[in-house]
Structure 1
Amino acid sequence: MNHRTGAIAAALMMTVATSALAGARVPAAGAALARVNGVTVPKAMADLLVSEQVAQGAQDNEELRARVRDHLVRREVLVQAARKAGTDKVPAVKQRIAYASDELLANAYLERWVEQNPVSDAAARAEYDRVVGQGAPNEYLSRHILVDSEEQARDIIARIKAGTPFAELATQSNDPGSKERGGELGWARPGSFVPEFDAALQKLEKGHFTEEPVKTAYGYHVIQLDDVRTAEAPKFEDVKERIMQSMQQAVVQKHIESLMGKAKVQ
């Protein structure tokens, strides 16, 4: 079984768990995909599964539809065997089916609610303008030397004060990613480094270095700030999708909290 067939199988197993074993069978409506021991496998089910696979990047072709048909037929054979064996009457199985069915229903409700309450382009633009209006954060161009002990860090600080170039001493650093570049870390915004490093970096003036070792979980750092600039805000179109997703998640959470607030939970 290749990975695409496996994906279809996984989707179909969820269908088995949530519908085929749950309660009495509802008579099929519409065109039939196949009949198994007189039971109709509806074409609409195949269409649904195909559309889900296409949404995930699969090609809607005869090969895909043949695999979907094969899996649905196999599923129906298994479901009939399960009913004949009384598996649908086992308490633990019934509970799992009920839970999975309700979970799908709740998720489907939220999906429909989101479709009916979308975040508009105007709202996303307003949020973008609000964030940009707060001012873009600074970016820092820094370099560091990482050593194992405080004594080593203090020795390096003393040698920098005595006139030894920072980049020359950086060859002693335990950070292999920066030592060959004179300790340079590139441009970064606050939050890019561990909190202790970030705090020390933001206190420095351009061209200065830390005169006390900065201890982090990685060891002891000597940090130098080479330059500071205001970060350029990204274009709205580049972040629009991310903003809308974040806003939609917040709206959904607020809706859930509203429903929870109205519910009588004992």
Structure 2
Amino acid sequence: MKTARLPLLLCALLATATGFAEEAKDTDSPDTLIATVNGTPYQLDVFRLFYMERLQGNQGQQNNPAFQQQVFDEFMGLIVASQEGDRRKMQGDRNVVAALELERMKVMSNAALSAMAEEMEPTEDELKSAYEKVKEQSARTEYKARHILVKDEDEAKKIIKQLDKGGNFADLAKKHSQGPTGKDGGDLGWFDAKQMVAPFAEAVAAMKPGSYTKEPVQTQFGWHVIELQETRKAEPPSFEDAKPQLTALVKRQKIASKVNEMREGAMVELNEEVVKMKEDPTSAK
């Protein structure tokens, strides 16, 4: 097999999957092969799917010839190993049969859900209703604070005493803080309490603007003295800005509802030798 120009070739063949070459349209046919290995033909579409799966964890690599070569080599390894499985007649193995059926079900399920999503275009009223719920759920307080991080509790207590005597928090942070914000006077800017480790977040949430902690706060990073400067209510994104996310959210909800409806309406005959049904304790005897 000649592979010297393979990365350049792959660049064109994968174009319809990654969208970076117009001239590759001629290869966009379900009958187009990428290779014939030991007499067995393999469709380009199969490789494209394999390539896109590998690309998910390697964003930005689609134009990298070395990455393309690596994925192609993996694909060839998959081919010859699967052919060995055929040679050993493993397609009849009980576990292989079950695994193949499970994969078929997953693929068909994903294809069906994608088709359903295309058909379920949310109305403006549904999007606005979802937006109101998101606004309510996303209501939160943001904090603007400084902190001084030191290694031991006694040092932190000494700093608090200096603050009690009128010491300047920013100056003390520049002098004593071992954290990366020390040079900036301990300034943390605006943050959501969820961004901080639990002891720090709990301390900030209990404080009033303009105050500092009267006792050092311990975290895995050391001992903190915290000054809370301001608080504010976080502003949610506008309806227009949030529309793409709202559309996806409403579609997921509609699909889940439809799948639940289909499940409830399905005619199911259980093998009672395998699935033991528990009696409903509330049912009348």
Give the TM-score band, short-chain normalised. 0.5 to 0.7
Which of 119, 122, 134 is 1:119 aligned to?
122
The residue correspondences of 1:3-42 to structure 2 (distance < 5 A) are 5=10, 33=32
Q: Distance in 2 between matches of 1:255 and 1:195?
A: 39
Q: Which runs of 5+ in 1 are unaligned?
A: 10-29, 60-67
Query: Contact (CA 8 Å) 1:146, 1:219: kept in 2 or not?
Result: yes
Deviation, 1:96, is: 2.9
* Equivalent residue letter for 2:149: L
Report the counterpart of residue 238 of structure 1 in structure 2.
Answer: 241
Whole-angstrom distance in 2 between the partners of 1:3 and 1:136: 51
User: Which secondary structure does the structure 2 equivalent of 1:191 belong to?
Assistant: helix
User: Are the aligned partners of 1:140 and 1:228 in contact in 2 as well (CA < 8 Å)?
Assistant: yes
Q: Say whether residues 1:192 and 2:195 are aligned partners.
A: yes
1:103 to 106, 113, 118: 106
Matching residue of 1:165? 168
Cα pair distance change 1:110/1:133, threshold 3 Å: closer
User: Which letter does structure 2 place at the counterpart of 1:101?
Assistant: R
What letter is aligned with 1:175? G
Which residues in structure 2 correspond to 1:27-66 (within 5 Å)?
Answer: 33=32
The C-alpha deviation readout for 1:147-168, integer Å capped at 9, x for no partner, is 2222222111111111221112
CA distance in 1, matches of 2:86, 2:234: 64
SS in 1 for 2:212: coil
Alignment RMSD (CA, Å): 4.5
Question: Residue type of the partner of 1:137?
Answer: R
Distance 2:114 2:30 in 1: 27
Q: 1:134, CA displacement in angstroms? A: 7.2
In structure 2, the CA distance between the partners of 1:112 and 1:49, relative to structure 1 (3 Å rule), is farther
**C-alpha distance in 2, partners of 1:143/1:183?**
5
Matched, 1:174 2:178: yes
The share of aligned pairs that are identical, in percent, is 27
What corresponds to 2:280 in structure 1?
Answer: none
Higher relative contact order (CA 8 A, sep 6+): 1
TM-score, normalised to structure 2, is 0.61
CA deviations 1:172-231 (Å, max 9, x no partner) are 22311x111100000112322123222221222221111122222322211111122333
**In the alignment, what sits opposite 1:128?**
131
2: distance between equivalents of 1:248 and 1:50?
27
The change in CA–CA distance for 1:200 and 1:40 in structure 2 (over 3 A counts) is: closer
CA, structure 1 residues 48+147, in 2 after alignment: closer, same or farther (shift >3 Å)?
Answer: same
How far apart are 1:92 and its partner, in Å?
Answer: 4.1
* C-alpha contact 2:145 2:190 (8 A) present in aligned 1: yes
Alignment-mate amino acid for residue 168 of structure 1: D
The answer to whether the 8 Å contact 1:32/1:40 transfers is: no
Equivalent pairs counted in the alignment come to 231
How far off is 1:50 after superposition? Answer: 7.1
TM-score (norm 1): 0.65
| Equivalent residue, structure 2, for 1:63 | none
